[in-house]
Structure 1
Amino acid sequence: MTTSTAPAPVDATADTDVLAPPARHVRTFKPRRGRITNAQSAALDRLWPQWGFEIPSEADAPLAREELFGRSAPLVLEIGCGMGDAVIAMAAAAPEHDFLAVDVHTPGLGNVLAMAERAGLTNVRVAAGDAIDLLRDLVPAASLEAVHVYFPDPWPKVRHHKRRIIRPDAAGLIAGRLRPGGRLYCATDWASYAGEMLEVLGAEPLLRNAHEGYAPRAAHRPVTKFEARAVEDGREVFDLCFLRLPAPLA
């Protein structure tokens, strides 16, 4: 089980820094600053010891899922949960699944906890830090029901494309952590990134595209404020869905 130590104390009246773990690989995120509300801070103080943990840069044992959630259930990993609107809606609609929301934005994680408590949800947990570290060190092979990567940072500058979360090495890591038949769902409003996702995931031998090209919008994925704003601004949203194969294709 990872440590349940809460993030560094935050001041509800000041900007807060998120953790910036030492570089062991190319980071897919940049440290974010954000103002934390009293409600978010209170949720972190109250719920973090039971419902949250920091992702260590190194770990000796896998995540103790049954201890974290209090049961054994199919696990969905949400990479980059933002303020949590999507993961809370999906967790409410699928109480038979557990949801682990990962982000580096402390106010967002506090918001997820606050919303989960208000909705009476017991199948949501949060993790602070790098999802790559989590996948590599804490998640056993073939153990995830699904991975959601919705509207990740597009890193639009060419020199920063290596930081995108959907890249060959990360795609292979994600694929290896999905159970056979498990699904990787992605969505982006950046057309160039969507094309790169399609190419990278299509080249991963453990994955198969569930559709011809882009997928129809996933029925389980709610429309967030971020997506609605993208549509209002005239940007097309691209969905992808890939299935984990039992073994690499010959």
Structure 2
Amino acid sequence: MTESPAYRDRPVSFVRRSGRMTDGQERAWSQLASRYVIDVPRGAAITSIRPDSAIDPETVWGRSAPLYVEIGSGQGHAIVHAAASRPEIDFLAVEVFRAGLARTMLDAEKGAIDNLRLAEANAPEVLQHLLPEASVDELWIFFPDPWHKSKHTKRRLVTDEFATLAAAVLRDGGVLRLATDWEHYARQMREVLDGAGQFERDFAGEWAERYDGRTLTAFERKGSRAGREIRDLSYRRRERP
């Protein structure tokens, strides 16, 4: 008798909503997903990734190039801008909300962008099961859900366990970049990564300088308008023993 796959045994950093996509987004998904979205084997959940499903980046992108990954790409504004600006780099957008991925594909097609691919999946499972070890040059986490209520902080993405997964996929010397407009979360992320032996700070002082490769998005504008200071962090992956 074949056992049913186990559902997730830990909280995820998102709440999956079934909001209806617009007609344009539906068309984008039906017409462009085969070009942009990586088709991955699933586990029990719709955004899960089955173990032992690692991709070969050279096969997916059709070349050998540095790989930058953005977790929680939202509408795709930051990563589409980056991919258009740096055609020599391959980019992967990781997002659980299909409407955001559809918008990303529309903008990518409009810009004739070929170095961008998308994964509709839970980020920790992308790091654990989809990306090979030491395959990523930069990993971006810009304005993750802060889950600012104390009863919800267990849902935050950046934890000790996540740091271990991030370190596994980053090459030696690779960079983990983070940004948030919630001070408590910024301090938690800094505490987690300062305590992770696989990383070292890539900044001096209390916070990193704003990453100039990050285009200004609606999330950043919203935080600034609310009077919240934007805090950046940058960590470099130490050499493996």
Do Structure 1 and Structure 2 share a fold, with TM-score over 0.5?
A: yes
Give the equivalent residue in structure 1 for 2:47: none
Gapped regions of structure 2 (runs ≥ 5): 1-5, 44-49
Among residues 119, 122, 127, which one is paired with 2:111 in the alignment? 119
Letter paired with 1:236: E
Match runs of 1:195-214 below 5 Å: 195-212=187-204, 213-214=206-207
- Does the CA-based 8 Å contact 2:70-2:79 persist in structure 1? yes
Q: CA deviation at 1:79?
A: 0.4
1:39 is aligned to 2:32? no
Letter paired with 1:242: Y
Of stretches 87-96 and 68-77 in structure 1, the one that deviates more from structure 2 is: 68-77
Of stretches 156-165 and 100-109 in structure 1, the one that deviates more from structure 2 is: 156-165
Letter paired with 2:225: E
Letter paired with 1:47: L
Residues 247 and 64 (structure 1), Cα distance of their counterparts in 2 relative to 1, 3 Å cut: closer
Among residues 133, 145, 150, which one is paired with 2:142 in the alignment? 150
Distance in 1 separating the partners of 2:167 and 2:187: 19
- Does the CA-based 8 Å contact 1:152-1:165 persist in structure 2? yes
RMSD: 1.6
3-state secondary structure, aligned to 1:186: strand
Distance in 2 separating the partners of 1:47 and 1:123: 14
Among residues 98, 102, 113, which one is paired with 1:110 in the alignment? 102
Percent identity for Structure 1 against Structure 2:
38
C-alpha offsets along residues 189-208 of structure 1, whole Å, 9 cap, x if unaligned? 00000000110011010101
- Does the CA-based 8 Å contact 1:51-1:68 persist in structure 2? no
Distance in 1 separating the partners of 2:67 and 2:77: 18
Of stretches 193-202 and 28-37 in structure 1, the one that deviates more from structure 2 is: 28-37
3-state secondary structure, aligned to 2:38: strand
After the TM superposition, which parts of structure 1 deviate over 3 Å for at least 4 consecutive aligned residues?
none
Distance in 1 separating the partners of 2:228 and 2:174: 29
Give the equivalent residue in structure 2 for 1:69: 61
3-state secondary structure, aligned to 1:34: coil
TM-score by length of 1: 0.87
Distance in 2 separating the partners of 1:126 and 1:107: 12
Q: CA deviation at 1:224?
A: 0.5
- Does the CA-based 8 Å contact 1:146-1:178 persist in structure 2? yes
3-state secondary structure, aligned to 2:189: helix
Aligned length: 228
Give the equivalent residue in structure 1 for 2:169: 177
Of stretches 69-78 and 121-130 in structure 1, the one that deviates more from structure 2 is: 69-78
Q: CA deviation at 1:150?
A: 0.4
3-state secondary structure, aligned to 1:53: coil
- Does the CA-based 8 Å contact 2:56-2:132 persist in structure 1? no
Q: CA deviation at 1:188?
A: 0.4
- Does the CA-based 8 Å contact 1:54-1:129 persist in structure 2? no
Q: CA deviation at 1:48?
A: 0.9
Q: CA deviation at 1:159?
A: 2.4
Of stretches 239-248 and 194-203 in structure 1, the one that deviates more from structure 2 is: 239-248
TM-score by length of 2: 0.90
Give the equivalent residue in structure 1 for 2:235: 242
Give the equivalent residue in structure 2 for 1:228: 221
Q: CA deviation at 1:161?
A: 1.5
Among residues 89, 94, 97, which one is paired with 2:86 in the alignment? 94
1:82 is aligned to 2:67? no
Letter paired with 2:125: D
